[in-house]
Every structure is written in C-alpha cells, then in structure tokens.
Amino acid sequence: MTVMEPETADETGTAGKAAEADLCAARNAVHPRPDGEDRYTISEVAACTGLTAHTLRWYERIGLMPHVDRSHTGQRRFTNKDLDWLAFVGKLRLTGMPVAAMVQYAELVRAGEHTVGERRELLETTRRDVCHRIAELQGTLAVLDYKIDMYSEKTSP
C-alpha cells in the first residue's frame, strides 16, 4: 500500500499532486535507502530511517505499521512500501501529530477507500495546526530579526 502522494505548493499556498517520490531515497545522504531486493532487515531499516529497532517494533505493536512480513526464521522483512510508509509517518511526527492520531490514520488507511473523507479531515486538522505554528514562528523570527538588526547598528563603526 502506497499511502503517500507527495504534494507541491504553488505560490498561492494551495497544493497540487506531484509525481510519487521515493521518500526514503529523498532523505539526506545520512540515511540512504539500503541496497537490496525490496526485503530489508530491521537493522537496515533502522539505518535508513534513523529510527531505532525498538521504535520500529513498537510502531508495529501499536498498529502504526501495517503487518510486516517475516522470514522463515521469524525475522522482520520490510519492503520499499514499508519504507515509504515510515517516511510518511516521520513527516506526521514532524507536524506534532499525536501518536494516537497517527495510529487512527493508519487504521483508516487499512480500512479502505471508504475512509478517505475521514483521513482527509484528520490531515486537514493537522495542516491547520502546522500553519498556526508556522505563523507563531514567523512572528518569533521577526522579533529575532529586529533584535539582530538593532545590535548590528550598535556594533557597526
């Protein structure tokens, strides 16, 4: 299941769908997608995502990760789709979305297409929260810029 459809914002701030991206590969070079045949161990996924193996197991236990396949020895085997999902979950974490809401979103995705409206609502609420925080940070940045300019004038010859 690919649940991430990256969007790009135009100058008006509205979003338009962009081509699907390889989200893990798009991360910085510190966490490149592991080489392989679409079956990765938990340590490879941890290296790719920056998450710990403990966190990956926890995500699976609480229902944030879909069912992860196992090898014949019982070891988890993650796919590229799992990596894409984890990249999306990472973006949700950065928004400040509570874990319970992320789990709710994951459950809605697994429930099927009839939940698209609920998923959209959840993401729109998160987007409003993010926009509010950005506005607060822009105000804070303006104060910092003012102070820096003020000190620059006092220290210039």
Whether residue 119 is contained in a domain is answered as: yes
What is the spatial distance between Cα 33 and Cα 14, in angstroms, rounded to a whole number? 30
For the chain, the residue count is 157
pLDDT of residue 154: 83
pLDDT of residue 106: 97
Whether residue 90 is contained in a domain is answered as: yes
CA atoms within 13 A on the CB side of 88: 24
Show the tokens assigned to 112: 């099927």
Confidence grade of residue 72 (pLDDT, cut at 50, 70, 90): very high
Whether residue 1 is contained in a domain is answered as: no
Given a cut of 80, whether residue 25 has pLDDT beyond it is no
Indicate if the alpha-carbon torsion angle 32, 37, 39, 43 is positive or negative.
negative
Looking at residue 37, the DSSP 8-state letter turns out to be: S
Whether residue 50 is contained in a domain is answered as: yes
CATH of the domain at 95: 1.10.1660.10
Q: Identify the residue with better confidence: 100 or 24.
A: 100
Query: What stretches of the chain adopt beta strand conformation (E)?
Result: 7-9, 15-17, 69-70, 76-77
The answer to whether residues 42 and 56 touch, using CB atoms and an 8 Å cutoff, is yes
Whether residue 2 is contained in a domain is answered as: no
Whether residue 128 is contained in a domain is answered as: yes
Whether residue 66 is contained in a domain is answered as: yes
Q: Which residue range(s) make up the domain with 91?
A: 7-155
How many domains does the chain divide into? 1
Q: What is the mean pLDDT of residues 153-157?
A: 78
Whether residue 73 is contained in a domain is answered as: yes
**End-to-end Cα distance, the chain:** 62
